[in-house]
Amino acid sequence: MDKNKKIKDMYVHEEGMDDLWDVWYRELHNGLSGLTVKINRIVESIKSEFQRIDVLETGEFGKVLSLYGSLMVCDKDNNAYNEMLAHVPLFVHPAPKEVLIIGGGDCGTLTEVMKHPEVEHCTMCELDRMVVETAKKHFPYLTEGLNDPRAKVVYRDGKAYIEEATESYDLILLDLSDPIGPAADLFQKSFHQTVFDRLNDDGIMVAQSESPYYNQETVKAIYSNLRQIFPVVRMYTCFMPIYPSGLWSFAFCSKKYDPLKNFDRDRYDKLNLACRYYNADTHLGSFALPQFIVELLK
């Protein structure tokens, strides 16, 4: 018998009492505010060598993936994070042939990168193999890019991988979890300098850069460090309903290209992507920041 049904049957003895299945997921920021979601079913809960991995079924967001107690992806987030992380730099760089993704275990970013025929090779370096296997099982639409012969997955620590790499890249995408635990080193200035050194002379790095509302000290430090390394540093944002505050940011860092002036609208129109969030207007509008963020980044 399904373990969820066993638990539920312990409490439901009469018709019409299904509402006594009252299980909730809660994710708080500093213990003061956060997101609460009612759970319909616990799909899978496992522990890898590195972290706890939970897949939960909810009424509001469909299936959700939680790593170490933080929501990562869900069925109903419009794929905003993956599309914005991948397509913004891909439509700015004129010849994005070699791409490296650090992190990205759910494979959503990899799948979006593979939609671009200009890309010749894309390597995803992910620490935790079990995250990839869990995504393949429960979020197969996110992992379609794994079937592309141009894609390669390496299961290694991202910091060690890039420090030892001899290849150079047109794009490096940092699809990282929060700056705690194993990912903490990947938010430091020394790591960003290593990324800069692995980029070609006209290379672009994009990194997720946390919530500009909740994580202001972290955001301020990240952008201060990046501006000491890259000639072009711009923040852009997207709406992510399962992330703290719903407003999420990305750091566009380039050796040469401007994300607005060098946006290739013709290539965008020709490719005719099937996206749920990203489009040409969103690309341009995402760099228009509210005043409180402008003040934060000064």
175 assigned to active site: yes
DSSP calls for 70-90: EEEEETTSTTHHHHHHHHHHH
Residues 6+ positions from 13 with CB-CB distance below 8 Å: none
Residues 6+ positions from 188 with CB-CB distance below 8 Å: 225
d(CA 264, CA 85): 16
The beta-carbon contacts of 43-51 under 8 Å, at least 24 apart in sequence, are: 43/138, 44/134, 44/137, 44/138, 46/130, 46/134, 48/128, 48/129, 48/130, 48/131, 49/128, 49/130, 50/127, 50/128, 50/182, 51/128, 51/181
Please say whether the beta carbons of 237 and 70 come within 8 A.
no
d(CA 218, CA 31): 18
* Active-site entry in 22, 148, 175, 266: 175
Residue type, 193: Q
Residue type, 196: F
Please say whether the beta carbons of 256 and 233 come within 8 A.
no
Place of tokens 């869990």: 134
Cβ count near 273 (within 10 Å): 16
Which tokens sit at 33?
A: 């505010």
DSSP calls for 198-232: HEEEEEEEEEE---TTT-HHHHHHHHHHHHTT-SE
Residues assigned a catalytic role: 175
